[in-house]
Protein backbone atom coordinates (compact mmCIF):
# COMPACT_ATOMS: atom_id res chain seq x y z
CA UNK A 1 0.00 0.00 0.00
CA UNK A 2 1.34 3.40 -0.98
CA UNK A 3 0.72 6.00 1.72
CA UNK A 4 0.92 9.72 0.97
CA UNK A 5 0.56 12.29 3.76
CA UNK A 6 -0.07 15.91 2.79
CA UNK A 7 -0.29 18.79 5.27
CA UNK A 8 -1.87 22.00 4.02
CA UNK A 9 -1.24 25.35 5.73
CA UNK A 10 0.93 23.80 8.47
CA UNK A 11 3.85 21.42 9.02
CA UNK A 12 2.84 18.00 10.31
CA UNK A 13 4.69 16.64 13.34
CA UNK A 14 6.43 13.29 13.17
CA UNK A 15 4.17 11.91 15.92
CA UNK A 16 1.13 12.76 13.79
CA UNK A 17 2.69 11.07 10.76
CA UNK A 18 3.51 7.99 12.84
CA UNK A 19 -0.07 7.83 14.10
CA UNK A 20 -1.37 7.99 10.53
CA UNK A 21 1.01 5.23 9.39
CA UNK A 22 0.00 2.99 12.29
CA UNK A 23 -3.73 3.49 11.76
CA UNK A 24 -3.58 3.00 8.00
CA UNK A 25 -1.36 -0.10 8.25
CA UNK A 26 -3.85 -1.69 10.69
CA UNK A 27 -6.55 -1.32 8.05
CA UNK A 28 -4.78 -3.92 5.91
CA UNK A 29 -6.13 -6.60 8.25
CA UNK A 30 -9.71 -5.68 7.36
CA UNK A 31 -9.30 -5.44 3.58
CA UNK A 32 -6.37 -6.83 1.63
CA UNK A 33 -7.09 -5.03 -1.65
CA UNK A 34 -5.84 -1.58 -0.59
CA UNK A 35 -3.68 -0.16 -3.37
CA UNK A 36 -3.14 3.49 -2.49
CA UNK A 37 -3.99 5.73 0.45
CA UNK A 38 -3.74 9.51 0.47
CA UNK A 39 -4.22 11.44 3.72
CA UNK A 40 -4.74 15.19 3.47
CA UNK A 41 -4.56 17.26 6.64
CA UNK A 42 -5.64 20.89 6.64
CA UNK A 43 -6.43 23.69 9.06
CA UNK A 44 -9.28 26.17 8.62
CA UNK A 45 -9.90 28.74 11.37
CA UNK A 46 -10.68 26.60 14.43
CA UNK A 47 -11.22 23.29 12.60
CA UNK A 48 -8.65 20.58 11.97
CA UNK A 49 -9.68 18.55 8.92
CA UNK A 50 -8.50 15.09 7.88
CA UNK A 51 -9.44 13.63 4.51
CA UNK A 52 -8.59 10.12 3.33
CA UNK A 53 -8.78 8.98 -0.28
CA UNK A 54 -8.27 5.23 -0.41
CA UNK A 55 -8.04 3.40 -3.72
CA UNK A 56 -9.01 -0.24 -3.51
CA UNK A 57 -8.74 -2.97 -6.10
CA UNK A 58 -12.29 -2.33 -7.34
CA UNK A 59 -13.48 0.82 -5.58
CA UNK A 60 -12.47 4.20 -4.15
CA UNK A 61 -13.33 5.33 -0.62
CA UNK A 62 -13.30 9.03 0.31
CA UNK A 63 -13.91 10.09 3.91
CA UNK A 64 -13.58 13.47 5.58
CA UNK A 65 -13.64 14.34 9.29
CA UNK A 66 -13.13 17.56 11.19
CA UNK A 67 -12.63 18.16 14.90
CA UNK A 68 -10.62 20.31 17.26
CA UNK A 69 -7.34 18.40 16.69
CA UNK A 70 -5.77 16.40 13.90
CA UNK A 71 -5.17 13.46 16.24
CA UNK A 72 -8.86 13.22 17.05
CA UNK A 73 -9.77 13.56 13.36
CA UNK A 74 -7.44 10.69 12.45
CA UNK A 75 -8.92 8.49 15.20
CA UNK A 76 -12.46 9.18 13.99
CA UNK A 77 -11.65 8.60 10.35
CA UNK A 78 -9.77 5.36 11.13
CA UNK A 79 -12.83 4.02 12.95
CA UNK A 80 -15.11 4.94 10.04
CA UNK A 81 -12.69 3.37 7.55
CA UNK A 82 -12.59 0.16 9.56
CA UNK A 83 -16.39 -0.16 9.40
CA UNK A 84 -16.49 0.74 5.71
CA UNK A 85 -13.74 -1.73 4.75
CA UNK A 86 -15.40 -4.55 6.70
CA UNK A 87 -18.64 -3.87 4.85
CA UNK A 88 -16.89 -3.79 1.46
CA UNK A 89 -15.07 -7.03 2.20
CA UNK A 90 -18.36 -8.67 3.15
CA UNK A 91 -19.91 -7.53 -0.11
CA UNK A 92 -16.92 -8.77 -2.07
CA UNK A 93 -16.95 -12.21 -0.44
CA UNK A 94 -20.74 -12.51 -0.50
CA UNK A 95 -20.97 -13.26 -4.19
CA UNK A 96 -19.81 -16.70 -5.19
CA UNK A 97 -19.84 -17.72 -8.79
CA UNK A 98 -20.59 -21.42 -8.88
CA UNK A 99 -20.37 -23.36 -12.05
CA UNK A 100 -23.63 -24.42 -13.59
CA UNK A 101 -22.09 -27.71 -14.64
CA UNK A 102 -21.59 -28.67 -11.01
CA UNK A 103 -25.37 -28.60 -10.49
CA UNK A 104 -26.13 -30.86 -13.47
CA UNK A 105 -26.09 -34.50 -12.48
CA UNK A 106 -24.89 -36.82 -15.25
CA UNK A 107 -27.30 -39.69 -16.04
CA UNK A 108 -26.39 -43.07 -14.65
CA UNK A 109 -26.28 -46.32 -16.64
CA UNK A 110 -29.57 -47.50 -15.13
CA UNK A 111 -31.34 -44.36 -16.35
CA UNK A 112 -29.98 -44.82 -19.85
CA UNK A 113 -30.97 -48.53 -19.96
CA UNK A 114 -34.51 -47.86 -18.71
CA UNK A 115 -35.26 -45.37 -21.47
CA UNK A 116 -37.09 -46.89 -24.41
CA UNK A 117 -36.72 -45.48 -27.84
CA UNK A 118 -39.29 -45.78 -30.59
CA UNK A 119 -37.58 -46.10 -33.94
CATH value at residue 66: 3.30.160.100
Decide if 119 is inside a domain. no
Q: pLDDT per residue over 58-95, tens digit each?
A: 889 999 999 999 999 999 999 999 999 999 888 776 65
CA–CA gap between residue 113 and residue 119 (Å, rounded): 16
Domain count, the chain: 1
| Apex 73 CA angle, 63 and 50, nearest 5 | 50
The pTM assigned to this predicted structure is 0.74
What are the angstrom distances between the C-alpha of 15 and each of 11, 21, 22?
Answer: 12, 10, 11
Range(s) of the domain holding residue 48: 2-114
Percent of the chain topping pLDDT 70: 77
How far is residue 110 CA from its own chain's centroid? 52
- Is 80 part of any domain? yes
Amino acid sequence: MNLTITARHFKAETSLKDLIRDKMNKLKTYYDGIIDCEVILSTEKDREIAEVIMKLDNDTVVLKEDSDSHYKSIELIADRLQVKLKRLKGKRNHFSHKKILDKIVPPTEVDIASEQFDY
